Amino acid sequence: MGVINYDLDENVKLPQIAREILAMGEADQKAIERNDSSIKKLTVVHTGRVREIISEFGYPVISLVGKKASHWAWLVIQHSDHDVGFQESCLELMESAPGGEVAKANIAYLVDRVRENRGLPQIYGTQVIQDKKTNKFKPNKLKYSVEKTNELRRKIGLESIEKYLEKFNID
């Protein structure tokens, strides 16, 4: 992957890795926006590279690669549904990272994604499905009531499920 001149956070310890992660995130988003059939292949390639980065440097926390690149690394992991074991190992790394090194919201999204991939109900209600009857989006299976789920969401800085769904259910 070529070097792209992305603006990096100050004091990033791994600027080349940060730029590479940012490029992967950008490619991922462009493929999704285009509904590109190559997204699955791209995701496999990106998963492999993020796995190598983690093996060499550890999880790409904010102090290593900056806030944006840490977020994009998480997004690659989030989309790595073909390798749930990798998602789970990354989740463990994220959860064990020092406070402030990984966005709490990213942890919540990955918790739910892994649980869904394992056939378990969500904790935070971040993964949505479209109701075939109403065409409205709703959270896929929740472990707790909406009230309890909203309480858990609030504790990590996420908006309520109702507010979250408004973004999807634009008429």
Q: What are the domain boundaries of the chain? A: 1-120, 121-171
Res. 26: pLDDT tops 80: yes
pLDDT tens for each residue of 34-61: 988 889 999 999 999 999 999 999 999 9
**Mean pLDDT rounded to a whole number for the chain:** 94
Mean pLDDT within 15-40: 92
Which of 85, 79, 50 lies closest to 65, judged by CA? 50
Q: Give the gyration radius of the chain's Cα atoms.
A: 17
* pLDDT recorded at residue 85: 98
Asked whether the beta carbons of 1 and 53 are under 8 A apart, the reply is: no
- The C-alpha atoms of residue 141 and residue 128 are separated, in whole angstroms, by 9
> What is the predicted pLDDT for the residue at 5?
55
pLDDT, tens digit, 9 for 90 and up, residues 61-94: 999 999 999 999 999 999 999 999 999 999 999 9
